[in-house]
């Protein structure tokens, strides 16, 4: 198990390093391929959840439009923070998806089942595709420069460090005679308040260190996007909404009576196990950059 975890983790880490630090088009291509791999597998796992719940959805239709959505998000490369056509294109793709979905409902033999399938598909489109399109937009800001890549790297490292900190603090303190105070024992028996605050502390430390050493390289619209105070606040927000994203995935597993989301990354689990905490964080961080930087 540990060997598989280290192997999968190393491959994922090396790929991420190439995406974030290989300048120019090569790094952009690696980022696109990594993103496509994680996104498509995340959608596959989502519809695995939905089918287990009893609603098949429209997997092919949703996947098609989520791909179109990500392509629209990549058009951020062609503009700048003031002239960005990505939001308009994303809106058009979204409307086209909903209209196409209703056409499929009209063709369904059972209208009730068709509407249930469309509802599950629309939720998946926004839950996975729309949210993660903001990660693409952050990466591609100002032509996918090093500054914008560092912003996305900040988001990923601060969010995932919370997951790691929560795991180690929670599992360590669970060995106490009285154990830990569980948050949602029915959904995720191992999640505890001790782990939550341990993760938040770890996240805040990582966020502050990133600002101290790389703050002048994390630029949005030519200005430093994150300071010490905002880093601590963002760490608290990332930890909280990232935790909700983690629990959200667990709710799908429990509803579908599934043990896991998949095993595309041996030792690490499925794509959703990696993406779950990043899903709600990406749009929040994008909004912060636009409104506060």
Return the DSSP state at 219. E
CA distances from 100 to 122, 171, 181 (A): 11, 47, 47
- Of 215, 235, 236, which is closest to residue 226 (Cα–Cα)? 215
* pLDDT band of 37, cuts 50, 70, 90: very high
Interval 57-90: pLDDT, tens: 999 999 999 999 999 999 888 655 555 788 899 9
Interval 250-259: pLDDT, tens: 899 888 888 7
**Which runs of consecutive H residues, i.e. helices, occur in the chain?**
2-21, 24-53, 59-74, 86-106, 111-124, 131-144, 146-173, 193-214, 228-256, 271-275, 278-292
**Can you read off the two tokens belonging to residue 275?**
């993406």
Contacts of 291 (CB under 8 A, 6+ apart): none
Phi, psi of 219 (to 5 degrees): -110, 145
Please tell me the distance from the alpha carbon of residue 28 to that of residue 58, in angstroms, as a whole number. Answer: 30
CA distances from 58 to 181, 183, 255 (A): 40, 34, 19
> How many domains does one find in the chain?
1
Averaged confidence pLDDT in the chain:
90
- 22-25's contacts with Cβ under 8 Å and 24+ in sequence apart are 23/146
Tell me the mean pLDDT in the region 103-130.
Answer: 96
Please tell me the distance from the alpha carbon of residue 233 to that of residue 195, in angstroms, as a whole number. Answer: 18
Please tell me the distance from the alpha carbon of residue 208 to that of residue 201, in angstroms, as a whole number. Answer: 11
Interval 201-225: pLDDT, tens: 999 999 999 999 999 999 998 899 9
List, in sequence order, every residue forming a beta bridge with 220; answer none if it has no partner.
Answer: 223
| Domain span holding position 75 | 2-292
The predicted pLDDT at position 265 comes to: 72
Is the predicted pLDDT of residue 289 greater than 80, yes or no? Answer: yes
CA angle 283/287/132 to nearest 5° reads 20
Contacts of 264 (CB under 8 A, 6+ apart): 41, 270, 271
Under 8 Å between Cβ of 239 and 162? yes
Considering the entire predicted model, what is its pTM?
A: 0.92
Interval 223-240: pLDDT, tens: 999 999 999 999 999 999
For 231-254, give the DSSP string: HHHHHHHHHHHHHHHHHHHHHHHH
CB contact burial 7-34 (16+ within 10 A = b; e otherwise): ebeeeeeeebebbbeeeeeebbebbbee
List, in sequence order, every residue forming a beta bridge with 223; answer none if it has no partner.
Answer: 220
**Can you read off the two tokens belonging to residue 229?**
């105070």
Under 8 Å between Cβ of 229 and 22? no
Is the predicted pLDDT of residue 92 greater than 70, yes or no? Answer: yes
């Amino acid at each position: 198990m540990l060997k598989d975890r280290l192997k999968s983790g190393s491959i994922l880490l090396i790929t991420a390093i190439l995406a974030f630090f290989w300048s120019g088009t090569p790094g952009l291509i690696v980022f696109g391929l990594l993103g496509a791999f994680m996104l498509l597998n995340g959608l596959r796992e989502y519809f695995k959840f939905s089918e287990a719940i009893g609603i098949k959805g429209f997997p092919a239709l949703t996947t098609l439009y989520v791909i179109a959505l990500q392509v629209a998000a990549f058009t951020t490369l062609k503009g700048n923070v003031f002239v960005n056509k990505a939001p308009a294109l994303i809106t058009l793709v979204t409307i086209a998806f909903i209209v196409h979905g209703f056409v499929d409902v009209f063709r369904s033999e059972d209208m009730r089942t068709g509407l249930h399938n469309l509802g599950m598909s629309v939720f998946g489109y926004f839950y996975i595709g729309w949210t993660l399109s903001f990660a693409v937009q952050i990466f591609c800001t100002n032509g996918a420069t090093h500054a914008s890549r560092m912003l996305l790297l900040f988001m990923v490292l601060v969010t995932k460090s919370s997951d790691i900190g929560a795991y180690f603090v929670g599992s360590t303190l669970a060995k106490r005679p009285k154990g830990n105070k569980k948050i949602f024992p029915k959904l995720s028996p191992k999640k505890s308040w001790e782990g939550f605050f341990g993760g938040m502390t770890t996240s805040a430390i990582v966020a502050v260190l990133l600002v101290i050493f790389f703050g002048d390289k994390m630029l949005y619209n030519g200005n430093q996007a994150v300071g010490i105070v905002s880093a601590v606040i963002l760490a608290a927000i990332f930890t909280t909404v990232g935790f909700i994203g983690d629990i959200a995935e667990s709710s799908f597993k429990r509803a579908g009576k599934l043990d896991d989301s998949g095993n595309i990354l041996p030792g690490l689990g499925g794509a959703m196990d990696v993406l779950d905490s990043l899903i709600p964080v990406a749009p929040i961080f994008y909004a912060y950059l636009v409104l506060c930087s």
